[in-house]
Structure 1
Amino acid sequence: MTTTERPNVVLIHWHDVGTHLGAYGHGDVASPAVDRLASEGLRFDQAFCTTPLCSPARGSLFTGRYPHTNGLMGLVNRGWEYAPGERTVPSLLSELGYRTALIGQQHESRDPYRLGFDEVHPWLAGPARCGPVSQRAVEWLEAAPGEPFFLTVGFFETHRPYPADGYPPVDPASVEVPPYLPDNEHTRADLAGFLGSIRVADAATGRVVDAVERAGLADSTLLLFTTDHGIAYPRAKGTLYDPGIRVAFVARPPRSWGVAPGAPDGLLSHVDVLPTLVELAGGPVPPSVQGQSFASVLRGEPGRRRTEVFAEKNYHDEYDPIRGIRTDRYAYIRTLEPGTPPRLSGDIERGPVRLGLGEEQLRPRPAEELYDLDDDPWQLCDLAGDPSYAEVKAGLAARLDAWMSETNDPVLAGRVAAPSGSLDEGPVPR
């Protein structure tokens, strides 16, 4: 097989793990399967989702478009859906002769059969836990079709909660508390359960990767691993700081391509995945797609890379409009309803970490924030009011304004209305 031939694609995606994995420098995390995949392939260190919330983040991953353009601006179980006419990765690849299948987690529609897959194996009665999902994926791969295929394998993990009977916690004393969280017994106990969830999900990931090997598909299959957004902790999930929008993204090209393992330079956004897969499949990228292909990188060739990524937040438990731009060095964040405290999602509010959260974490937010990532990678020192950074802030603000205008961001016209109908947290296909 050569790089001009069309690869199979297996996309494994988790919930709420960000880059909290051994391959991304977290020494307290046991994730040998993902770490091995990263060592054998390409580990993208500057990959980002478009929003730190489940449904809209996944919507961008599968449409190559931002939440405010594809219509999925909030959670499916709160009434949001794709806008009419939206195209997805599986629908486009199906038209190009791929067999497409969904196994496990999805959170882009109340009706998974609307998503464009040829086969749907959803979990309608409860969360798509990684154990049974990985087993079904293994069985599917053992009988993989002869034509090129696109298989998505979605795990509920590492979404909260982390019950000890399903995810044996690690020793809280062994946990490395990120600098943006308070180090206390509540945080450590919470992180101990989270790390237990990672261990279980990682083992299931390894079973899927091993099935690709046993089925003799490694030479012809592109393996992708990612997550929807950052970890479910304060200053992460639900925020536009790096712990909220930076994600693991690992790609192992088909072995027959002979691409050397490594960590490619440059920024990457989840909106770039669709155009990349369509290009690799030999099809035209729809003009409505807002991402840019990185297929050349997967082939081991030089290619144009991003200089910036954009992110947004609209609806989770409540309306919370935020926009942001991230470059190699700077992060600029604009809160469109300033003066309000950070709005923690319900799962974080109900978690143990909330018990140890000081009031400093809930101080009112300014209209603008600016961070120099060279000196402040955890984004703890806001430079928006520093005169020496005024020119940098103005330049980033102008670039953000241009993006909002070019993409017809509805917040430019005022508050975005929630969809009519139910806004409860009722069951949704997982």
Structure 2
Amino acid sequence: GLMGLVNLGWNLPPSNLTLDQALGHAGYETLLFGHQHEVKDVAQLGFHHLPDRSVGVRCGPVAAQVAEFLARRREERPFYARVGFGEVHRPYESYPADDPARVRVPPHLKDTPGARQDLAMFHGCIRTMDAAVGRILDALGSSGLAENTLVVFTTDHGIAFPRAKATLYDPGIRTTLLLRGPGIRPGQVASELISNVDVFPSLLDAAGAPVPGDLNGRSFWPLLTGRAYTPRDAIFAEKNTQPWDIKRCIRTARYKYIRNFNEGPLLSLPTDIESSLTRRDMGHDHLRPRPPVELYDLSADPNEQTNLAGRPDYASVEQDLSTQLQRLLEATHDPI
């Protein structure tokens, strides 16, 4: 069914098994540091320990709290620590900015003074967050736990810029996923299609914990450890956070098919992006009507600029992807 963020009025159903609970059942001591927005009452998540929540969600204080925990760690019981940072959410103005003239403007954005200044501040925010991650890794090394600890760094969506966050274009659904730990071949870059739903079973697999049979995801742990792995043919994505901008999509290695369920502008910008310097300089082209279907050939058009939906020479591709998407909606009882 439809599931939104708790800060938009939704709450994770108590019957849903979380990764935190599954690892707790497998014998791990579980802790939550910093940011979460799955539930209104954090106790519902089932962590064994909730270190001082008054620290907030900014990366500096949260990293210091995690480093202190690692320095004091003496127990041999395995632990799972979820660490959530408020960074790199907007606003960016309080972080030391890079030189706007030296930033690289992503191809999905217009190269304007506002976009450059926005990106320069964004880079400063990233640098601050990166230092906080470094502090945690240093503390892990000093504690002697690094060689036996799996570290996962990931994000929940693309950057808070137009055609990224809150869209189903690649800059919105392509998220960071870095892993370091025992058994992982260092330095490898995987190009296989992986979905967020794959993270849950993969981490249970890595921990030697049982993987529930009703999960939609599949473990990519074999891919990282050199064992046999069958990659996905396609991944699926959805947007639900604005009732006037409901979307679903399927993405293969070559094609992207997006189905828009509402009429409206091509881009419906979240409020943090709407008030940004990038938005100030981008004009109004994004306000033209959105099509009901979008189809992109990612090999020829990686920035998703030319909509091929409705073209006779792509009719079979469009029909095939539409059928696959419809089957998924029915299989998952999608309320749309």
Give the TM-score normalised by structure 1.
0.75
After TM superposition, list the pairs within 5 Å mapping 1:7-46 onto structure 2: none
Cα offsets for 1:328-382 (capped at 9, x unmatched) = 1111100001344421101111222121121112211101001111111111111
State the one-letter code of the partner of 1:136. Q
1:309: which partner in 2?
A: 235
- What is the CA–CA distance in structure 1 between the aligned matches of 2:252 and 2:41, rounded to whole Å? 37
1:375: which partner in 2?
A: 300
1:117: which partner in 2?
A: 47
Identity of aligned residues (%): 47
1:150: which partner in 2?
A: 80
Greater relative CO (CA pairs within 8 A, separation 6+): 1
2:60 corresponds to 1:131: yes
- Cα 1:258–1:361 change in 2 (3 A) is closer
Contact 2:263–2:290, Cα closer than 8 Å, also in 1: yes
SS at match of 1:320: coil
Which of 143, 148, 155 matches 1:220? 148
Which of 98, 101, 105 matches 2:31? 101
Cα offsets for 1:204-244 (capped at 9, x unmatched) = 11111111111111221111111010011111111000011
Contact 2:8–2:241, Cα closer than 8 Å, also in 1: no
Cα offsets for 1:78-99 (capped at 9, x unmatched) = 2101124001001011011001
State the one-letter code of the partner of 2:125. S
1:238: which partner in 2?
A: 166
SS at match of 2:322: helix
State the one-letter code of the partner of 1:394. Q
- What is the CA–CA distance in structure 2 between the aligned matches of 1:362 and 1:123, rounded to whole Å? 41
Deviation at 1:188, TM superposition (A): 1.2
SS at match of 1:247: coil
After TM superposition, list the pairs within 5 Å mapping 1:26-425 onto structure 2: 68=1, 71=2, 73-121=3-51, 123=53, 128-144=57-73, 145-164=75-94, 167-254=95-182, 257=183, 259-316=185-242, 318-411=243-336
SS at match of 1:206: helix
State the one-letter code of the partner of 1:305. P
State the one-letter code of the partner of 1:324. C
- Cα 1:121–1:362 change in 2 (3 A) is farther
State the superposition RMSD in angstroms.
Answer: 1.6
SS at match of 1:279: helix
Cα offsets for 1:233-288 (capped at 9, x unmatched) = 1111110000111011111122xx36343112311111111111222333322233
Give ranges in structure 1 of 5+ residues lacking alignment.
1-67, 412-430
- What is the CA–CA distance in structure 2 between the aligned matches of 1:246 and 1:89, rounded to whole Å? 22
Give the TM-score normalised by structure 2.
0.95
Cα offsets for 1:24-72 (capped at 9, x unmatched) = xxxxxxxxxxxxxxxxxxxxxxxxxxxxxxxxxxxxxxxxxxxx3xx5x
Cα offsets for 1:279-331 (capped at 9, x unmatched) = 23333222331100112123232212211110001124x54210001111111
- What is the CA–CA distance in structure 2 between the aligned matches of 1:135 and 1:276, rounded to whole Å? 28
Deviation at 1:122, TM superposition (A): 6.2
- What is the CA–CA distance in structure 1 between the aligned matches of 2:194 and 2:52, rounded to whole Å? 29
Contact 1:260–1:300, Cα closer than 8 Å, also in 2: no
SS at match of 2:237: strand
SS at match of 1:120: coil
- What is the CA–CA distance in structure 1 between the aligned matches of 2:52 and 2:266, rounded to whole Å? 37
SS at match of 2:327: helix
- Cα 1:180–1:264 change in 2 (3 A) is closer
Contact 2:244–2:262, Cα closer than 8 Å, also in 1: no
SS at match of 1:135: helix
